[in-house]
Every structure is written in structure tokens, then in C-alpha cells.
Structure 1
């Protein structure tokens, strides 16, 4: 299957041909150095990508339900509102429980006074010690009843157990709820969990802390950074895959539970010697580059290199080059080992080949 070169590639090729033709049309003394475009060898972070599909989950997620039967007295949240831990979300009618609590508190005050009075009498040997101990026991009993009433009253108030975002409000004031009735959902989404599976063949290469990036069709131009949090303890005997859980920061709360994410795990992170892929000269199953010796009047040396992994436009060099050497990146077909070259420019992250060619064409014009 043949592919048609892009118009941009044709334009860049014409520019390169025009600049080189102008150079060849110069006087003989100026033709001794062949014009080329160079590129620096660089040391860059490198890793072997492992791709997968994953599903997002909230860092914490809960469905808050009623535990008693009564009517709704207050609803203190809006759909999608960000709430804080401990914030009151729903209050049920608790008038009866409040009345029982006040009665128990009054009884506690009465029994406490009785204990104090008997204690004074007993200190003067006017009351038996057994009466004092009985009064103290009755006081402890009513105090326990108060604690039970206060615990039951807490069931009438539904509070956020953690910071998060509430879901839709599906209840109204006056609604009758029973134990198990869903009142509201709450998700903690400032950090998201990302669950995905990878083939078991990669199990030995997975470990907590590995960096990864994730993308979603909802935000096609954004990459979300994260890291592997844990690796599953079992391999699925059917799919022969292992589950992996990662964490993604989500400070703007843009990611939502349930979203499908394209995951790229950066396996074996390391610092690698990297060159532009177009600087490589294949010869059979061997690879060569043209190294420019800046200390020897820009003479070119042909050197064999060992190539590791590749990614778009770049190649990892395992052997044959050190950092910061200068290579011929464009014009390799016109240069032989031992030739002198003149640099039209050095292509890097800030200067493209097209910009270098246009600048040189402008100078020659």
C-alpha cells in the first residue's frame, strides 16, 4: 500500500532543494563545505509505553440513605454542589426525639441533685452509704439513656462524611422516607482512581509509582498525569490479564466517575541518549549517523550506533553516542565521511526545519 506525501512535506522539500541549489551555485571556494541542517544529541527522560483502556472511579464514593422513618424537614444542598466534611445535607423531623431528650435531661438533673444531697448527708453519717450508691446508679442509668437518645437524633441528621460533590437532589421537604431510602450521592473527585487491565506478560514490569498519562474523548487536547497506585494480587484465569489501579489528580473536578480513558503507562523510566529519527542512516540491519566534529572545522565522521526504542520523530541510542554531540539531520545524502559541512542551522524544540530553510532563503535572496 502506497501513501501520498503531505503537501507540507513537499513544501519543505522544495525549500531544502532551493537552498541547497543556491549553495551549489556559489563560487567554488564556498562549495567546499556542504550546507546541512544539524541536530544535537540530547539526554531526555525516556520510557517504554504500555497502552490500555481504563475506567475512572471517584477516590471516595457513597450513597447516603435514611436509617429511620420520618419526613424530610430540611434539604441543605443543590445539585452538583461542592460540600465539606460534616456539612448538614438533610434533616428529618425529630420533634418527638427532641422531647424525649429534654425529658431525660430533666430527669438527669433531678437525680444528680439527689446524689449530691445524699452524699452530704452521708458525709455527716445521716444517710446510709447504700442509698448514695443506689442514687448514683440511677444517675448513670439516665445518663446512658441520654447518650442513646443523642445517638438516635444523629440518625435524623445526614451529614457529608468527607469533602466532595453531591449528585442530583431527588427529595423534597415533606417527603416520607424509610430506612434504605436514597437521599443523595456524594463523590470525592479531587483525586480520581483509574482502573485498567494489562496482559500478564507485563506483570514483572509493573510496580507502584510508575508514571502514566491518560486522555479522554471529552478533552481530546489534554493529557492528565498520574501514577500507578497498586497492582492486583490476582491474574484473571480467563483473560490472562492483571488489574492495575492508578491515581490522577483532578483539582478542577473536570474528570467524572465512569469516564473511559486511554492510558499510557511509562514503563522502565530512564534517562536516554536521544537523536532525531531522520538523522539515522540505515544500512541493512545496521544504523549509522553522521557526527559533525566541531573541533575539526566541522568535518563529518560516519559512526555506527545501536538503536533502542523509537517514538514519533525520535530514537533512543543505546551505544555509539554521548550527550550533546552534533549530527547531520538534513542533507545526509549529500555528505560523505571526511567532508566539511556548513550549518544552515540547528533544528530543536524551538526552531523547526522550515524556519531554518526560510531564513536561509531570505538571506540568499
Structure 2
């Protein structure tokens, strides 16, 4: 009677046990199928045949954009700094010929006017003597005296061809006073500086009312329409770079490219970097002063092969397979950039390792059945 009551429970436990057993069998079968391909793929070692040829090497050039026409402004005279037509501040635009700034010239201007008055007195005293001693030349000097103005710029003195007349005038101090006044006028012009070209103020060190000393830097002025990027290339790649070549300049600060042209190449080698300066001219409204820009040129490398940079051991050796034995071959690394390297020195047709693998060592014996050959294109796409 008790067995009949327990029989349903015994049957249920049996069904559960059978289900667990079937689940374990199915789980173990799926595990074998998933492990099988992995084991097979990890046993194969990718290798490739060396085919030396011409490899295009990208030589990158980069530098900061600097305005092609850019000047530093220094005070040649001293005085109180004043603005001209508009404030001399960073970002202010001036056209060619416009006054950039001024320095108060009241005292010096009065000194110039005083000297010009003295010259006028000397010319006035000279004229009666010329009427007596050189009557034929007096009329020319009379016209010059009538057109003389203290306020206007000094006009050139009448031309003198007679040596006697020249010495006559020089003895009265006319020439020395004339050139002294002209020199003062030149100095007076330095109190007001004009823009030599259309441009913008990129640096301003002074405010109106400040005292300016002779030789003090006032600011910087630049043309924002044309820039120059100073880049550097190795001496070996210099033969592929020529003035006049067009290049495409890029920047992280704007999309697309800016057209540039190599304007000049320095002939001297930088002693620290052993590179040569290349100057690229660019005119693009998106370019700004100090912007970092870069470009690249394709340089052909003969008798070389491109490999993954991760395959290099000690930066100068690669694994090759010789008679089923791993051997480290010495190579010349011509260039290394990003994930790739261009090397020379591998024998044509040699079998080279095409993928990095942990646990490999020189002298390791390989089973030929474990080697998987790939093409050069497959190697380069990796």
C-alpha cells in the first residue's frame, strides 16, 4: 500500500534524472563543435612570400601657418602713444596707407618749424647777393623762395650746374641747413606710422596715453589673406620635393583640404633634426594665424616590401622560415609610420612571417602543414 503511494514520486524523479543526462550530453556535443574550429585556426601560422618592388612611402609634412606678410612694429621715436583713425587693437583692420597709430609730436614739430624758418631767412639773405653776383641764376631761386612754405614738406633746391655758384651757395650754409631740415622732416614722419599693406593688427602692446620709448615694441601687423606653412622633410626625400609643386593641406580645425604650393626650400640642414625646411604658400579664408596644418607626399622606395610594424623584433629584425626553421633576418627599416613599416634586405622569394604570435623563438621547428600562405595584397590589407 505504501509502495503504491510512493510510485508516482519515483517515476517523477526518474524523468528528471533522464532529462538532466540528456542536457549534459547535448551541452558536451556543442562544446566540441565550438572548440574544434578554434583549435584548428590557432594551429595555422600565416606566412607570405617576399616580393621586393617599389613601395610608395607617404612623407608627412606639418607646421604652423604664419602670415606671409607680417611685420613687427617698433617705436623709432619716443613720446605719448595715441590712436589714429581707429583704435590700434588686436583684430583692427587697416587699409594700405591708413595711419596705424601716432605718437604726440607737438614739441618736435615746433623744432622742425623753427629750423625751416631759419632756412627761409638764409634763402632770403641769399637772393640779393645772387642778383649782384649771378644775375642769370637769381630768377630760379626767386621762384623757389616764393613757393617756400614752412608748413608744407620741403621741396628740393634748384639744380646748380656751375661749380662757382655751388660753392657760393654752400659757403652761406644753405645746403647744410637744407639737409638738416630734411632729416628732421623724416624723423617727424616716424611719429605717425602708416599701414604698408592691407592687414590686421595681431598684437597690440600699448594703450593711448602710455609713454613710448625709442626701440619699444608696439605690436604686430599681418596680411590675413596669404599664409606660409613651414614644414620639414628628410634629406633623402628632398629630391621628390620641388618649388612649384601643388599639395593638399589639411587641418583638424576645418573639413576638406586647402590648396597649397611649395614656394621655396631651404638649402641648409637643421643640425638638431637633420631635416630641411620646406615652405608652403596657402591662400584660404579658413586658415588662421598659428593654425597647425599637415600634408603628405608619395615617395617611391625601390627594392623594398611593406610589413606590419608589429612583426619587427628589436626594430631591425623579422622572422623568416628557412627549411621549416624560424630564423631572425636583419632588415633595413626605411620608414615606419602608423601600423606599417617599409623594409629592405629580405631575399626575393623568402618565406616571411605575416602575423605576430606569442611563444615564437629563433630556431623553432615548424610543421609545414601548420603554415598558411597568404598573398601580398592580403598582407597589406591586414
How does the TM-score come out when normalised to structure 2?
0.51
Structure with max Cα Rg: 2
Structure 2 residue aligned with 1:261 = 293
CA contact (8 A) 1:206 1:267 kept: no
SS for the counterpart of 1:162 is: coil
Q: Which of 226, 244, 252 is matched with 1:191 structurally?
A: 226
d(CA) in 2 for partners of 1:228, 1:166: 27
d(CA) in 2 for partners of 1:146, 1:112: 13
Q: Does 1:151 align with 2:186?
A: yes
Structure 2 residue aligned with 1:161 = 196
Structure 2 residue aligned with 1:105 = 116
d(CA) in 1 for partners of 2:189, 2:169: 31
How far residue 51 of structure 1 moved from its aligned partner, in angstroms, is 2.6
Q: Does 1:231 align with 2:240?
A: no
How far residue 246 of structure 1 moved from its aligned partner, in angstroms, is 1.0
Residue pairs, 1:1-365, within 5 angstroms: 50-75=59-84, 76=86, 77-123=88-134, 133=168, 137-219=172-254, 221-236=255-270, 238-250=272-284, 252=285, 254-265=286-297
How far residue 135 of structure 1 moved from its aligned partner, in angstroms, is 6.9
d(CA) in 2 for partners of 1:142, 1:199: 60
How far residue 104 of structure 1 moved from its aligned partner, in angstroms, is 1.6
CA displacement 1:156-202 (0-9 Å, x = unmatched): 11222333211244422211111232222111231111111122221
Structure 2 residue aligned with 1:344 = none
CA contact (8 A) 1:210 1:265 kept: no
CA contact (8 A) 2:123 2:174 kept: yes
d(CA) in 2 for partners of 1:63, 1:99: 29
SS for the counterpart of 1:105 is: helix
Unaligned regions of 5+ residues in structure 2, if any? 1-55, 136-163, 301-382
How far residue 237 of structure 1 moved from its aligned partner, in angstroms, is 5.0
Higher strand share: 1
How far residue 258 of structure 1 moved from its aligned partner, in angstroms, is 2.0
How far residue 55 of structure 1 moved from its aligned partner, in angstroms, is 1.8
CA contact (8 A) 1:64 1:158 kept: no
SS for the counterpart of 1:174 is: coil
Structure 1 residue aligned with 2:365 = none
CA contact (8 A) 1:68 1:156 kept: yes
d(CA) in 2 for partners of 1:256, 1:189: 7
SS for the counterpart of 2:108 is: helix
d(CA) in 1 for partners of 2:273, 2:114: 64
d(CA) in 2 for partners of 1:242, 1:236: 6
| Count of residues in correspondence between the two structures | 216
Counterparts in 2 of 1:236 and 1:138: CA distance versus 1, 3 Å: closer
CA contact (8 A) 2:62 2:292 kept: yes
